[in-house]
């Protein structure tokens, strides 16, 4: 962990913050793409070290946050079947669908289990031949290789009682959607380091060409994030728009080829519905035809088609696109809390609203009880 | 409660059911206590908020406590459900400054539990009791049908004798008091989670489960003006501090750099997306006392193996009641909040 301490060094943080202050000559708005970066920024109060001209807005890179309600509904419906064991990553359990969440399904008798890896779910399927094990495969490019590997192995080993509810989304199309919005404010990106560790950074070249924005591949620790901001600010101040790699200790230009291969073997690119944002073309993974038998929605004849958007008053879509901050929502900390979230940005630790609630809430004036 | 969330009812649903989160030591559990359990019992709930009740007797004061143990798995590195059932109740008594004396033992056994396993657990329980100087003086055993229990549940109640005149409770905490922490945090929670979920780390992380009454009694025997004691259990250091600040209507400022976390525990927390401040402990406490007594207290604490890494982690101040602020390792500050429900490992 000494390695980690180097990236949380108070002196290095102070020097970087000073360097950023000395380079900024006019207002700039940057977006950190990944929810892990948002969490780190709020947890360590990094934005409080930045000059007033520099605004950080929080991006769409929270996999729990953007999983649409209809897929959570589908997972809940499937979990209620007596033969099914529904496995999920932990933080998916509290995200509300249109009628409840997986925690409540569990307390109502559904066999819902937290796993740490899709391979654990596959193993459970092998050990439970009389049950149907369904894995809720959520995430960005970071979780896609392991999820793809679980399906690949299931097919190779002839495991017929394993399937996935697939809700995979991709980062570059979401960044393009942010830039294409008519009221976009974002002038530079801190790209998600872990996503690039899998995918490399070549896929950002077309975005830079089309929108002329700097994109800096950035890590997650305080020193990483401030270095990423400094590199991004330097590009903006000098009128450059390039891909730069702050996170060189993990990320190479071509990414992880073995991981990309298994993704391409198992998945195909499809349009995806993003919660609060809407449908984005070519923005997600679905199972390819050769692996369609492992699609839980198909296996259990459950609709995974989008229905009407919820009308809870949640503005998570605007938050995920960097167009609002959590405190600007009238429901923040009143009707909407991590315990009773109206939208998913309040659920996951990586959601901007949950991070603000956890680390910032009591700095606001006291709210009157509803 | 000072967490500002009292506007939320226990559940908005008709026919609500108990969820696991209601037992996790966070905001949801407090709400269950405040909205369902305390009102049903009628009496002033204040007494029930402490680790033990303090009862007056003709020859002095007694501390009385009860706790149930449902840990899964029953054996984990550094302990088992038997030793835990002793340490938990002994520590609850110690947090009133009481000398633990007598324990009751309630066993709920599930049909099918191997007798050998029961024997091993009872041997461990007996050993822990002997080490802590408490006697098991009464007990009860029930067996439930297969599938109606999780192998074995244990309840222990404890009685301790209070041999000092201090009021060790949140009401005695004062502006300016220092907060001492008795050692590194998070080991029990990570050890149990790793054993339960089959997570393998480079080295085995052992639970910190241990009795705390010896250092506590030594502080009192030295005549130090201890204002409050709180053992860290579910909800971790964060929950202990938040509860203490809520009940004392004061605020606390703590320094992240001074809170020891073993490298393996930190690594596991980073990997799983957990905050060590929220992870459970079973052999750690905070001691709150005036700054003038801090050095003497630390010297005494460090003379016992269970608290040899004790240190000062922060200070109490007036300020916004219930607030806990953490000065981060990078020199910024942030709020510390109680966890709302279960700790959920994150996706990536």
pLDDT string in tens for chain A (370-residue length): 456 788 999 999 999 999 999 999 999 999 999 999 999 999 899 999 999 999 999 999 988 889 988 999 999 999 999 999 999 988 888 888 888 889 889 988 999 999 989 999 999 999 999 999 999 999 999 999 999 999 999 999 999 999 999 999 999 999 999 999 998 999 999 999 999 999 999 999 999 999 999 999 999 999 999 999 999 999 999 999 999 999 999 999 999 999 999 999 999 999 999 988 889 999 999 999 999 999 999 999 998 776 655 567 888 888 888 888 998 999 998 888 887 788 878 877 778 998 898 887 644 433 333 3
Confidence at residue B15, expressed as pLDDT on a 0 to 100 scale: 56
Report the CATH number that the domain containing residue B132 is assigned in CATH. Answer: 3.30.1330.10
Residue numbers of the domain that contains A349: 316-358
Inside any domain, residue B3: no
Q: Given A281, A306, A331, which residue is the final one in a domain? A: A306
- In chain A, what residues touch B341 (CB-CB under 8 Å)? 94, 338-339
Does B4 fall in a domain?
no
Nearest to B201 by CA among B222, B186, B212: B186
**A149 occurs within a structural domain:** yes
The nearest alpha carbon in chain B to A39 belongs to B273
- Tell me, yes or no, whether A368 lies in a domain: no
Cβ neighbors of B46 (< 8 A, separation 6 or more) are none
Binding-face residues of B in 262-301 toward A, CB within 8 A: 263, 266-267, 270, 272-273
Regarding whether B295 and B176 lie in a shared domain, the answer is: yes
A83-111 per-position pLDDT tens digit: 999 999 888 888 888 888 898 899 889 99
Look at residue B271 in the predicted model and tell me its pLDDT: 80
B348 CB within 8 Å of a chain A CB? yes
A226/A347 same-domain check: no
Q: For residues A78 and A90, give the distance between their C-alpha atoms in angstroms, rounded to a whole number.
A: 17
Q: Note whether A192 and A321 are same-domain residues.
A: no
Please report the pLDDT score of residue B346 as a whole number.
59
Domain count, chain B: 2
Asked which of B162, B181, B199 is the last residue of a domain, the reply is B162
Q: What is the DSSP letter of B214?
A: H
Look at residue B104 and tell me if it is in a domain.
yes
Residues A174 and A27 both lie in one domain: yes
Residue A262 shares a structural domain with residue A125: yes
What is the C-alpha separation between A240 and B319, in angstroms, rounded?
48
| Pair A327, A214 in one domain | no
Total of domains in chain A: 2
Q: Shortest Cα distance from A251 to chain B (angstroms)?
A: 16
CA distance linking residue A345 with residue A367, whole number of Å: 20
Does B215 lie in the same domain as B144?
no
- Residue segments in chain B with a per-residue pLDDT below the cut of 70: 1-15, 43-49, 341-348
Instruction: Give kind and range of the element (H or E) at residue B58.
Output: none
| Structural domain ending residue among the three candidates A265, A280, A306 | A306
In a domain, A228, yes or no: yes
Q: Please report whether residue B13 resides in a domain.
A: no
Residue B262 belongs to domain spanning? 170-335
Nearest to B7 among A114, A361, A369 (CB): A369
A324 and A272 assigned to the same domain: no
Q: Which of residues 205-244 of A touch B (CB under 8 A)?
A: 222
B329 within some domain: yes
Residue B14 neighbours by CB under 8 Å, 6+ apart:
none
The interface predicted TM-score of the complex, written ipTM, equals: 0.75
A341 and A242 co-located in one domain: no
Question: Among B145, B162, B179, which residue terminates a domain?
Answer: B162
Question: Residue A197 falls within a domain, yes or no?
Answer: yes
Substitution target in B195, B200, B337, B346 with the highest count of A β-carbons within 10 Å is: B346
* Residue contact A338–B340, C-beta within 8 A: yes
Residue A292 lies in a domain: yes
pLDDT at B344: 64
Both A256 and A237 in one domain: the answer is yes
Same domain, B189 and B149: no
Question: Do B210 and B95 fall within a single domain?
Answer: no
Q: What is the least distance, in Å, from the CA of B269 to any CA of chain A?
A: 11
Residues A335 and A200 placed together within one structural domain of the fold: no
Contact B267, A1 (CB under 8 A): yes
Are both A353 and A251 inside the same structural domain? no
- The chain A residue lying nearest B334, using CA atoms, is A359
Same domain as B286, residue B182: yes
Domain-embedded: residue B15: no
B245 in any annotated domain: yes
Q: How many residues are present in chain A?
A: 370
- Sequence-ordered strand ranges (E) for B126-226: 135-144, 152-162, 178-181
Q: Which of A94, A333, A359 sits opposite B4 (nearest CB)?
A: A333
- pLDDT computed for residue A265 by the predictor: 97
Residues of A in contact with B320 (CB under 8 A): 362
Domain boundary residue, one of B129, B162, B195 = B162
CATH of the domain at B226: 3.90.650.10
Residues B158 and B208 in one domain: no
> What average pLDDT is seen over chain A?
91
């Amino acid at each position: 962990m000494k390695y980690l301490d180097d990236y949380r060094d108070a002196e290095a943080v102070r020097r970087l913050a000073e360097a950023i202050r000395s380079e900024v000559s006019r207002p700039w708005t940057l977006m950190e793409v990944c929810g892990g970066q948002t969490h780190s920024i709020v947890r360590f109060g990094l934005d409080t070290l930045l000059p007033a001209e520099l605004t950080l807005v929080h991006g769409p890179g929270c996999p729990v946050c953007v999983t649409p309600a209809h897929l959570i509904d589908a997972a809940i419906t499937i979990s209620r079947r007596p033969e099914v064991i529904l496995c999920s990553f932990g933080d998916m359990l509290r995200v509300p669908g249109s009628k409840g969440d997986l925690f409540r399904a569990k307390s109502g008798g559904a066999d819902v289990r937290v796993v740490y890896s899709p391979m654990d779910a596959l193993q459970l399927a092998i050990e439970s031949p009389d049950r149907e094990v369904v894995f809720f495969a959520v995430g960005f490019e970071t979780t896609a290789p392991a999820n793809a590997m679980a399906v690949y192995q299931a097919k190779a080993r002839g495991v017929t009682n394993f399937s996935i509810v697939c809700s995979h989304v991709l980062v570059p199309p979401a960044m393009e959607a942010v830039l294409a919005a008519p009221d976009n404010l974002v002038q530079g990106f801190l790209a998600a380091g872990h996503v690039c560790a899998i995918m490399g950074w070549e896929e950002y070249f077309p975005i830079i060409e089309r929108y002329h924005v700097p994109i800096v591949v950035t890590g997650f620790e305080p020193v990483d994030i401030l270095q990423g901001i400094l590199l991004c600010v330097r590009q903006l101040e000098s009128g450059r728009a390039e891909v730069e790699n702050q996170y060189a200790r993990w990320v190479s230009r071509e990414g992880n080829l073995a991981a990309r291969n298994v993704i391409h073997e198992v998945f195909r690119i499809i349009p995806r519905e993003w919660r609060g944002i809407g449908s984005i073309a070519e923005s997600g993974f679905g199972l390819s035809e050769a692996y369609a038998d492992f699609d839980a929605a198909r296996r259990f004849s459950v609709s995974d088609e989008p229905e009407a958007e919820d009308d809870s008053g949640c503005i998570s879509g605007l938050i995920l696109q960097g167009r609002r901050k959590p405190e600007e929502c009238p429901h923040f900390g009143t009707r909407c809390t991590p315990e009773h979230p109206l939208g998913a940005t309040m659920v996951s630790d990586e959601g901007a609203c949950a991070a603000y609630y956890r680390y910032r809430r009591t700095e606001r004036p006291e709210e009157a009880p509803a | 409660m000072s967490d500002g969330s009292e506007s939320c009812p226990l559940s908005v649903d008709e026919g609500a059911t108990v969820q696991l989160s209601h037992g996790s030591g966070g905001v949801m559990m407090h709400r269950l206590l405040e909205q369902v359990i305390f009102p049903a019992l009628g009496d002033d709930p204040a007494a029930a908020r402490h680790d033990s009740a303090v009862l007056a007797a003709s020859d002095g004061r007694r501390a009385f406590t009860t706790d149930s143990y449902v840990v899964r798995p029953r054996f984990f590195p550094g302990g088992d459900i038997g030793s835990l059932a002793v340490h938990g109740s002994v520590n609850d008594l110690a947090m009133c400054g009481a000398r633990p004396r007598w324990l009751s033992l309630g066993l709920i056994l599930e049909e099918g539990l191997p007798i050998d396993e029961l024997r091993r657990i009872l041997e461990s329980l007996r050993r822990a009791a002997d080490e802590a100087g408490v006697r098991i003086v009464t007990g009860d055993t029930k067996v439930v049908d297969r599938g109606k229990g999780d192998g074995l549940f244990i309840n222990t109640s404890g009685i301790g004798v209070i041999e000092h005149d201090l009021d060790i409770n949140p009401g005695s905490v004062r502006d300016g008091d220092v907060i001492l922490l008795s050692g590194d945090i998070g080991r029990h929670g990570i050890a149990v989670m790793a054993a339960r979920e089959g997570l393998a780390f480079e080295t085995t992380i052992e639970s910190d489960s241990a009795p705390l009454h010896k250092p506590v009694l030594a502080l009192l025997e030295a005549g130090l003006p201890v204002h409050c004691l709180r053992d860290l259990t579910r909800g971790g250091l964060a929950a202990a501090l938040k509860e203490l600040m809520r009940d004392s209507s004061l605020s606390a400022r703590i320094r992240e750099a001074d809170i020891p976390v073993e490298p393996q525990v930190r690594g596991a927390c980073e990997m799983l997306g957990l905050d060590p401040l929220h992870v459970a402990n079973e052999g750690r406490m905070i001691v709150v006392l005036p700054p003038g007594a801090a050095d003497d207290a630390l010297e005494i604490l460090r003379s016992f193996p269970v608290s040899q890494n004790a240190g000062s982690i922060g200070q109490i101040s007036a300020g916004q009641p219930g607030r806990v602020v953490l000065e981060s390792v990078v020199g910024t500050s942030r709020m510390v909040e109680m966890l709302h429900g279960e700790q959920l490992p994150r996706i990536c």
